[in-house]
Amino acid sequence: MTLLEGKIALVTGAGRGIGRSVALLLAREGARVVINDIGCEVDGIGYDEAIADAVVDEITQAGGKAVASHHDIATAEGARSAVQTAIDAYSGLDILVNSAGVVRDRTLVKMEEAAWDSVVTGILKGTFLCIQAAARQMVVQARGGRIVSMTGLPGYLGGFGQANLAAACAGVHGLTRTASIELQKHRITVNAVAPLAKTRMTEALPVLEGFDNVTSEHVAPVVLMLCSDLCGERTGHVVAVAGARVHSLRFVESAGKFKDESAGVFTAEEVDEYWQAIMKV
């Protein structure tokens, strides 16, 4: 038996890149898949239904089951409609994979408000709206569910010219943690994946120059595991994938420095003096 036999999955941003690789693998593992993609360019501009339709054709020609959703999940109506597509086609939803996103790199002092809004809306708001719409359906169904969202290294490390992307990715981390806490009682696991893969959104990054072994195909099996019963009750985690390396990402709290005297109030000079002790993990 395949890992996702009988399951119903919605994958956003499934027309190309990591989303496409994930959708193809979920379908091969028995899931009925909704392929959501508006077919825009990497900066979020444009619309082409053929992008999602091509992945649907690829899945169905291979013997799988898939339908297209051309809704813009960065709007509440679009997110609800994408979930409704799964309900109309397959009578429910068991899995949500948030893989849609845009990039508009620009240094902080030169970034226009529109570039900030498009990236934060496309990634963070879209992820929130889809999680909300999917969770409402999963709660009603009362059979649990799996939610996996894409985040990224800029949310943890920052990235030159990527203030918008870094903020959105960090937001997805916080959203994942909160959703995992709130939805655990409904047997819905919520995890995130931070991929480093060469796609049309990242191929221009200097860090990936010369590296052909960091692909979206490396990322898809990790997402599959988190979408399947293999995941068990694991929830609230961020799994990073960079080619052959799989590791975890988390915010770490240092032991810090305590002050007993003067009611525990540090002076600015003392913060400077004890800086190394405060920062040491």
Report the distance separating Cα 59 and Cα 256, nearest Å.
53
- Phi, psi of 157, deg, nearest 5: -110, -15
In a 3-state reduction of DSSP, which class is residue 202? coil
pTM of the prediction? 0.93
Nearest to residue 127, comparing CAs of 195, 81, 74, 179? Answer: 74
Beta-sheet pairing, 8-12 with 95-98: parallel
Task: Tell whether the torsion through CA atoms of 133, 239, 280 and 207 is positive or negative.
Answer: negative
What's the pLDDT at 40?
87
Domains of the chain listed by start with CATH number? 8-250 (3.40.50.720), 251-281 (no CATH)
Sequence length of the chain is 281
Provide the token pair at 151: 């985040």
Give the bridge partners for 269, in sequence order: none
Could you read off the pLDDT of 22-36 as tens digits, one per residue?
999 999 999 999 999
Over residues 113-146, the pLDDT tens digits come to 999 999 999 999 999 999 999 999 999 999 999 9
Residue 244 has pLDDT above 90, yes or no: no
The pLDDT of residue 70 is above 90: yes
Give which of 227, 249, 82 is closest to 151, Cα–Cα: 249
